[in-house]
Amino acid sequence: MSMISLKGLRHSYLSEPNGDEDWALKRMSVDWSDGGAYALLGPSGCGKTTLLNIISGLITPTEGEVWFDDRNVTEIPPDQRNIAQVFQFPVVYDTMSVYDNLAFPLRNRGVAEGEVDAKVREIADMLDLSETLHNRAAGLTADGKQKISLGRGLVRSDVNVIMFDEPLTVIDPHLKWILRSKLKELHQQIHRTMIYVTHDQTEALTFADQVVVMHEGTVVQIGTPVELFEKPRHTFVGHFIGSPGMNVLPCSLENGTAYFGGHAVPTNHPVAHKADGERLEIGIRPEFVRFADDGIPVQIAKVSDAGRFSIVEANHGDHIIKLLVPDGQAMPSENARLYFDPARTQVYVDGYPFWRFFVKIFIPTIAAGIGVAAFFCFMFSWVELLLAKTLTSVAAKPIAVTMTRTASTSGYELGLLAAAGCLTIVPGAFVIYFVRNYIAKGFALGRV
């Protein structure tokens, strides 16, 4: 078992990628901790399968590295990575029995036949395949074949990670729920790293401890289901997760206050200053909108019963705002107004909330400038110090110089050079660190 680190990864299926859209995976660095239950969630075409294939070694990334613990495995072929991968569609040997199919990955690695038998029966039992163990795989339904694929993924106990790529697509709906619960149960028993790919939020949120949300080739957020719900870092996460998803409304800013349709919308979170060309949006989940005496005037357009609450769609101009109203709570028949809980209202700049924009984009963008300025300031003050020393010959000496002088008068010049060298490295390292870590990430996020 090991921790999997993807470092500065980027992948394009084209030989000479140019624009942003040529990259199936935009630059990302993700750590998958040992024993975690992860879901990789995102719509079709966002790069989930590409990412799995890079981890398993079926694809070599255009840029970046894959590490298992302290071993760089980027160039190592799939069969040496000790990974079990279950694909979207069944991969079984039709001519073999169910038993032999399940035993195959173990026999292939020379596991003793007694151990093979025990393991095959355990997995078959878990997947309800015990009755059909001696049937030929060819005669099974798509469901049955996919259960064999799952079994083949689960049967080995020596793997670093088990990856499931939308494994329940071909499974009958009523079986899906059962199998998903079994996978979760199995994860709790064996504590092996599992990455479960899906475009279905319910599947992701029920299976995973950590959900990695992808959008257009980028990882937009990694978090627990609760974090994704309560603190979406991107409007996409807010909209994609939750049922119904977060309301995303265009807004403007005046004196640090967000306005939607001419009405101030208070928020407890920091608000950006709008720069030209940037899209500003308010994000608020339907759970945190309620009717009030004062607020945004709306017309109620639709009410749908969803069990213990109703989903209300209210119109303000061309915009639809959804809210949840608990059963039994009265709804205004006219002059309806909406209140957004300020603690749950976020202002997003081009999809990202302001603090993230500031920390990840703004600071990194100016960091190189700050670094260079710091370097020159340092150089000038160093020269000033030397000048002051020469002119006054009093105590205006850098510590390093004083120390070398004390140690040896003849080593003075050499010591001075060494000290200057050491100290000038500091701002240089600062600049390199920020350029590498942040400017590169800024580009990767498509924000610089």
Q: Which is nearer to Mg ion, 49 or 404 (CB)?
A: 49
Sheet holding 71-72, edge to edge: 25-32, 4-11, 63-68, 71-72
Give every CB contact of residue 142 below 8 A, 6+ residues apart in sequence.
Answer: 90, 170, 171
Count CB atoms within 10 A of the CB of residue 194.
26
Binding partner of residue 45 among Mg ion, ligand ADP, none, CB cut-off 5 to 8 Å per kind? ligand ADP
In whole angstroms, the minimum distance from the beta carbon of 159 to ligand ADP comes to: 21
- Identity of residue 285: R
49 counts as binding ligand ADP under rule CB under 6 A: yes
49 counts as binding Mg ion under rule CB under 5 A: yes
Q: What b/e string do you get for 313-331 counting C-beta neighbours within 10 Å, with b at 16 or more?
A: bbebeeeebbbbbeeeeee
Residues in contact with ligand ADP, counted by CB under 6 A, come to a total of: 10
Q: Which is nearer to ligand ADP, 21 or 327 (CB)?
A: 21
45 counts as binding ligand ADP under rule CB under 6 A: yes
13 counts as binding ligand ADP under rule CB under 6 A: yes
24 counts as binding ligand ADP under rule CB under 6 A: yes
- Please measure the distance between the N-terminal and C-terminal CA atoms of the chain and give it in whole angstroms: 38
Q: Which is nearer to ligand ADP, 45 or 411 (CB)?
A: 45
Alpha-carbon span 170 to 152, nearest angstrom? 17
39 counts as binding ligand ADP under rule CB under 6 A: no
46 counts as binding ligand ADP under rule CB under 6 A: yes
Stretch that binds ligand ADP, among 39-47, 122-130, 298-306, 328-336 (CB under 6 A): 39-47
Angle between helices 363-392 and 412-434 (to 10 degrees): 170
Alpha-carbon span 84 to 164, nearest angstrom? 8
132 counts as binding Mg ion under rule CB under 5 A: no
What residues form DSSP beta bridges with 85? Answer: 163
Q: Is 267 helix (H, G, I), strand (E, B) or coil?
A: coil
89 counts as binding ligand ADP under rule CB under 6 A: no
Binding residue for ligand ADP, selected from 15, 18, 44, 188, defined by CB under 6 A: 44
Binding residue for ligand ADP, selected from 50, 235, 345, 404, defined by CB under 6 A: 50
The single residue listed with the structure tokens 């298992």 is 68
By the criterion CB under 5 A, which residues form the site for Mg ion?
49
By the criterion CB under 6 A, which residues form the site for ligand ADP?
13, 24, 42, 44-50
